[in-house]
Amino acid sequence: MKTFKELTEERYSVRDYKDIAIETEKLNYILECARMAPSAVNFQPWKIYVITPESSVKNDILSCYAREWIKTAPYCLVCCIQHNQSWKRSSDNKDHGDIDIAILTEHICLAATEQGLGTCWVCNFDTERCKSILNLNNDEEPAVLIPIGYPSDKSVKKEKNRKAINEIVEFV
């Protein structure tokens, strides 16, 4: 079994996928890991739309991101914040939905890595178009697209360029 650190080192942004279906057991496992993600006050203000290879909206959803590589992903998860359900901090009314969706997304990405699958965070997409395609209400924000599948042989894991620990951590 891999350690958590090994999973974080193994995960990378996959930008080319094999045309192979994901086993139902693996997909269910990943979604169950997402369900267990923590959220502010445990409100769980999210919804995941699983766009399958057979979905009538798959091409439309993938067209919300103007990069050809995303079309190689057999599945795409659309992670949405439900702002009417998210916790707001009383001191400044900070909506924690964006934080909660980030936690959920990383649970998905790491669970997928553990299952031998690849993912990529996609945040720079046409959210209004995505919202329209999925017929979302005003309180629901599509925040992240997660293409998911088996990385192709052409998929390249780049070396992770990370700051040194002393640049990001300060003991006070």
| Block mean pLDDT (10 aa), the chain, length 172 | 93 96 97 98 98 97 97 97 98 98 98 98 98 97 98 88 95 96
Q: What is the pLDDT of residue 160?
A: 85
Domain annotation covers residue 172: no
Determine the Cα–Cα distance for residues 26 and 115; give it in Å rounded to an integer: 7
Domain annotation covers residue 131: yes
CATH number of the structural domain spanning residue 50? 3.40.109.10
pTM of the model: 0.95
Domain annotation covers residue 89: yes
Q: What is the pLDDT of residue 12?
A: 96
**Contacting residues for 157 by C-beta, under 8 A, at least 6 apart:** 12
**Contacting residues for 152 by C-beta, under 8 A, at least 6 apart:** 16, 17, 18, 72
Determine the Cα–Cα distance for residues 88 and 57; give it in Å rounded to an integer: 33
Determine the Cα–Cα distance for residues 172 and 147; give it in Å rounded to an integer: 40
Q: What is the pLDDT of residue 157?
A: 85
φ and ψ of 92, to 5 deg: -145, 5
Structural domains counted in the chain: 1
- How many of the other CB atoms lie within 10 Å of CB of 51? 25
Distance between first and last Cα of the chain: 35
Determine the Cα–Cα distance for residues 50 and 47; give it in Å rounded to an integer: 10
